[in-house]
């Protein structure tokens, strides 16, 4: 087992919340230009649906148009053995 216990003496300076920061500016720039953007999800720490919903709302404000999302699998192609190479994530798109 690799877990360990640590003493914490100064909570204000030693403990800080861990948040995943989405690249909102980059997503908004792609959405303004192309109308769709794919965000790859981390398989070890997948995003919660509520986080993605809030991200779509924030992106809507940033872009100035309604942004919607879908959980999707992006197919990248096939390798020489015929195995499909794909990644999971979310497709954000500007609604017409």
Which domain CATH number covers 77? 3.30.110
The answer to whether residue 4 is domain-embedded is no
The answer to whether residue 82 is domain-embedded is yes
The answer to whether residue 11 is domain-embedded is no
Confidence of residue 60 (pLDDT cuts 50, 70, 90): very high
Structure confidence at residue 4 (pLDDT): 79
pLDDT, one tens digit per residue, over 7-46 is: 777 776 666 666 667 899 999 999 999 999 999 998 888 8
The answer to whether residue 2 is domain-embedded is no
Percent of the chain with pLDDT over 70: 86
How would you write the chain as a 3-class SS string? CCCCCCCCCCHHHHCCCCCCCCCHHHHHHHHHHHCEEEEECCCCCCCCHHHHHHHHHHHHHHHCCCEEEEEEEEEEEECCCCCEEEEEEEEEEECC
The answer to whether residue 3 is domain-embedded is no
Q: How many structural domains compose the chain?
A: 1
For residues 75 and 32, what is the distance between their CA atoms, to the nearest angstrom?
23
Work out whether strand 67-78 and strand 84-94 pair parallel, antiparallel, or are unpaired.
antiparallel
Domain span at 81: 22-94
The answer to whether residue 14 is domain-embedded is no
């Amino acid at each position: 087992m690799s877990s360990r216990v640590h003493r914490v003496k100064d909570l204000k300076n030693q403990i800080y919340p861990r948040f995943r920061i989405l690249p909102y500016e980059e997503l908004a720039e792609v959405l303004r230009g192309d109308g769709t953007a794919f965000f790859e999800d981390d398989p070890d720490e997948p995003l919660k649906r509520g986080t993605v919903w809030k991200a779509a709302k924030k992106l809507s404000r940033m872009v100035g148009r309604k942004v919607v999302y879908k959980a999707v699998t992006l197919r990248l192609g096939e390798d020489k053995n015929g195995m499909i190479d794909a990644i999971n994530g979310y497709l954000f798109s500007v609604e017409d």
